[in-house]
Amino acid sequence: MTTSDHKAKGDAPDKAPKGREGSSFGIIVSFFLIGFGLSMAVGWIAFPKLLYSEKQQPFDFNHAIHMDLVDEGCESCHLFREDGTYAGVPTLDQCSGCHEDAQSDSPDEEIFVNEYVANQQEVPWLIYSKQPDCVFFSHAVHVKTAEMECAECHGDIGTSESLKVYRENRITGYSQDIWGANIAGLKKNTWDRMKMDDCGSCHLERMGSKGPCFQCHK
């Protein structure tokens, strides 16, 4: 009895400080978690939002609808010129044959016809895949010689119903499609980004070498 009494008495003073220690430990942990949570929120949510300015295309464009209307697939609009260079984004004369008059009641087409077709003004499309001027890239060698699919580098834009938001890196001026949306640098698909290393690692895999600097910088 005396021993358990003693034990009980001995326990009591011990427990109080333990409780206090426990709660201050809890406070430290929760401060840590809140701070950690905030910094993660800044790093993963706020920072990318601050880093990129969002720009809208002049109007939306539906690739899927148009693919059903043209005869030569992607090449109806994205064609190789006679000298082998790529025309890239289509010019107005590739559209106006069909769009002299409105083809639908779409508000996007209304903008297109009234502001661009009627005034014969080229559409100032934003180019998601635009590389800096110092980079030399040729579609012919990749699409014709190496027989690569568009989607391998561009994803599903060509079959999409709507153009995505264009995000421009405020520091580098690069489109987000160059360095990728994932700030940890993770890459799930071949088209997630197109940095120097992404060009180089495919060249290493398919040609056995990353190639000399002047291959891509002329």
Q: Restricting to residues 165-194, which ones interact with ligand HEC according to CB under 6 A?
A: 178, 190, 194
Closest CA to 173 of 60, 55, 44, 45: 55
Do the beta carbons of residue 178 and residue 194 sit within 8 Å?
A: yes
Closest CA to 190 of 175, 208, 205, 169: 205
Q: Is 90 in the site for ligand HEC (CB under 6 A)?
A: yes
Site for ligand HEC in 2-61 (CB under 6 A): 59-61
Q: Is 117 in the site for ligand HEC (CB under 6 A)?
A: no
Candidate residues 108, 140, 169, 187; the one interacting with ligand HEC per rule CB under 6 A: 108
C-alpha 82/C-alpha 141 separation (Å) is 14
Question: What are the structure tokens assigned to 140, written together?
Answer: 């012919």
Q: Can you tell me which residue has the tokens 């110092």?
A: 134
Site for ligand HEC in 132-151 (CB under 6 A): 132, 134-139, 141-143, 145-146, 148, 150
- In the bound state with ligand HEC, the residue whose beta carbon lies nearer, of 78 and 187, is 78
Number of shown-chain residues binding ligand HEC (CB under 6 A): 74
Candidate residues 24, 30, 85, 104; the one interacting with ligand HEC per rule CB under 6 A: 104
Closest CA to 59 of 116, 144, 13, 121: 116
Candidate residues 51, 106, 140, 187; the one interacting with ligand HEC per rule CB under 6 A: 106
Q: Is 129 in the site for ligand HEC (CB under 6 A)?
A: yes
Question: What are the structure tokens assigned to 66, written together?
Answer: 């148009």
Least distance (Å) between residue 203 CB and ligand HEC: 5
Question: What are the structure tokens assigned to 23, written together?
Answer: 């709660």
Site for ligand HEC in 58-77 (CB under 6 A): 59-63, 65-67, 69-70, 73-74, 76-77
- In the bound state with ligand HEC, the residue whose beta carbon lies nearer, of 9 and 206, is 206
- In the bound state with ligand HEC, the residue whose beta carbon lies nearer, of 17 and 97, is 97
Do the beta carbons of residue 163 and residue 61 sit within 8 Å?
A: yes
Q: Is 109 in the site for ligand HEC (CB under 6 A)?
A: yes
Which residues lie closer than 8 Å to 62 by C-beta, 6 or more apart? 108, 160, 161, 162
